[in-house]
Amino acid sequence: MPKVECYPRHLSQVLMNILGNAIDSWENQPAPKTIDISTAVAAKDSEDTESGKSIGQLAVIRIRDSGPGLTQKAKCRWFDPFFTAKPVSKGTGLGLSISYQIVVEKHGASWNCISEP
């Protein structure tokens, strides 16, 4: 990966939230329990509206785990503050909400989620 202008501590928090959720989802799952992370550079032909600079490339991070996936109801609330699909006392429901704000609002990036068994 080429160097990327970002807030590294914030992105580290995002990755830890995602990985923690993946690990938590394995509680009653059979083996294999896996997490695959891949990175890539994708071309983008557009212009940043604020700076007027050309944006030639995007960093793409893909994370895939062997967890059970989410229900349709949970998918609709994925990034809502205080929503959690975890059992009572297992989570605050803030991790993905904060992570979404870091990725989308602070970095101006996009976040696409596909959750299926």
Predicted confidence (pLDDT) per residue in 5-44, tens digit: 899 999 999 999 999 999 988 988 899 999 999 999 888 7
Residue 116 located in a structural domain: no
Is 76:65 a contact under the CB 8 Å cutoff?
Answer: no
Q: Is residue 113 part of a domain?
A: no
Count of the separate structural domains present in the chain: 1
The per-residue pLDDT of the chain, averaged, comes to 86
pTM, full prediction: 0.80
CATH number of 91's domain: 3.30.565.10
Tokens 């503050």, residue located: 81
What count of other Cβ atoms lies within 10 Å of the Cβ of residue 107? 18
Q: What is the mean pLDDT of residues 1-6?
A: 82
